[in-house]
Structure 1
Amino acid sequence: MLLKRIAFSAILPLIFIVGCKEESDKKSSDTKKNTVQIDSSAIEVAENEKKEAEEKFELNEENAIDFFFNYQKELDDNIKVKLTTSLGDFTVQLYDNVPYHKANFVYLTKKGYFDNSQFHRVVKDFIIQGGNADDKSIAEKRRAIGRYLLPPDTRKGYKHHRGTISMPSSEINNPHMLASPYEFFIVVTQPGSYHLDGDYTPFGKVIEGMDVVDKINNVRVGKGDWPFQNVYIEKAEVLE
């Protein structure tokens, strides 16, 4: 009888250990069953949907100001943009306290809008004007980005000195001289074209490559001040 009790006492811990192991294995199995598998294809679909939503976003008269107000909050100070043209490259530095025009120029640059556009208006000893083209791809880019204008911001003390980059106003239904966001002009007059002050918004200045700007200003032009040989902006890029 004593031997039976001893044997039973020895077997009991083994039964407990085996039972615990089985319970542990069961819990482990249940945990695996309840674990959510990460579906990589679902992530890819979500990313594609987000990208498509961003691509479908269009600026308009109702949302442009709010959009650029928030967009400029994320921008660094003293942003520089390099424009590589078919006649050389030059760099402009954007003013920080002209937020909507600065944000607009950076946004269009990052969207690739200016790439393969042209300096479509060249007035000797006055300005070169860019951001348009006789290529339908530029019109298609405009349609994709949206139709909007920007309010003038002429009270920050900037003048149209030589090398100033400024924004022309739209010619269509525009009694308040709202700026045409897709184009810009650069003053080449020495020392400047100050009769433009108060009507147009300077938003930066050329800091490198003014000789290239002068070279563009010296090309032969035809009717409407359009160069006989197209002068392309091959690439515009924000310098990090």
Structure 2
Amino acid sequence: MRRFVLLLFIVLQLSLSYGQSRKVVFTTDYGTIKVVLYDFTPKHRDLMLRCIQDSTYHGALFNWIIENFVVQGGEHDIDIARREAADPMAKKPRLSPEFDEQAFHKVGALGAGRDDNSEKASFLNQIYFVVGKTVTEEDLRKLEEKKGVKYTYEQRKVYLEKGGQPRLDGDYTVFGEIYEGLDVIMAISRLKTDQQDFPLSPVRFTVSLTE
């Protein structure tokens, strides 16, 4: 029975990663990162595809790096706030959140950055990868009590075996995951940064479609 459950879990994982319809590649100074975009977060998937078409992430920067947490890229929070403050119409375009139990903050997850807006809506041109840290049963128990949630069997298994950042679940939209090149983002996460978590040397990336 245990063998059957393990086999079923592996099949589900493979179908999740490879059964989706869109894959993209991040070309960085440290290697390539291949990512599957989730079809069950279609608005964020389509936003990324539009960003590729518009070259939004062509020569962009990973500009906020915290080891054991996330590697963030695209337009920085500071620049977004400055640009929006200068807009006389006070426009703050955002994309409404998409939360799905299959999309959670495991190591290698791709998420959309946001500010502290009450709707938890995403920025249109900022992404991050979860590099995460070790997660324990006690961590999950405390988060379930604090957030009023219950982690699924799959979520618990992945968090306990591989780590992540479960405290971000339900607050930030995850819309994809790395299926090849996890070592690249982990190497980037270990780069030296200044006191504001900017890397000391620019780390550029470009996003394009892949087969």
Is TM-score (shorter-chain normalized) higher than 0.5? yes
**Number of the residue aligned with 1:82:** 25
Q: Relative to total residues, which structure has the larger helix share, 1 or 2?
A: 1
How does the TM-score come out when normalised to structure 1? 0.60
Q: Which has the larger radius of gyration?
A: 1
Contact 1:110 1:238 (C-alpha < 8 Å) held by counterparts: no
The reply to whether residue 207 of structure 1 matches residue 207 of structure 2 is no
Q: CA deviation at 1:219?
A: 0.5
Question: What pairs up with 1:89-238 in 2 under 5 angstroms?
Answer: 89-132=32-75, 148-171=93-116, 174-190=117-133, 191-233=163-205, 235-238=206-209
Contact kept? 2:95, 2:121, Cα under 8 Å: yes
Which secondary structure state, in structure 2, belongs to the residue aligned with residue 121 of structure 1? strand
**Which whole-Å deviations, capped at 9, do the CAs of 1:16-66 have from their partners, x for residues lacking one?**
xxxxxxxxxxxxxxxxxxxxxxxxxxxxxxxxxxxxxxxxxxxxxxxxxxx
Identity level (%): 27
Q: Which amino acid letter does the alignment assign opposite residue 207 of structure 1?
A: Y
Residue 178 of structure 1: how far off its partner (Å): 1.0
Would the aligned equivalents of 1:158 and 1:202 in 2 still touch at CA under 8 Å? Answer: yes
What is the alpha-carbon distance in structure 2 between the residues aligned to residue 93 and residue 177 of structure 1?
A: 23
Deviation at 1:170, TM superposition (A): 2.6
Give the TM-score, by structure 2 length: 0.67
1:86 Cα shift? Answer: 1.2
Does structure 2 retain, via aligned residues, the 8 Å contact 1:119–1:132?
A: no
Q: Which sits farther off after the overlay, 223-232 or 76-85?
A: 76-85
Number of aligned residue pairs: give it: 155
Q: 1:120 to 1:209 in 2, by over 3 A?
A: same
Contact kept? 2:74, 2:127, Cα under 8 Å: yes
**2:34, 2:186 → 1: CA distance?**
14
Q: Quick one: distance in 2 between partners of 1:150 and 1:227? A: 28
- What displacement does 1:112 show? 0.8
Q: Which runs of 5+ in 2 are unaligned?
A: 1-18, 134-162
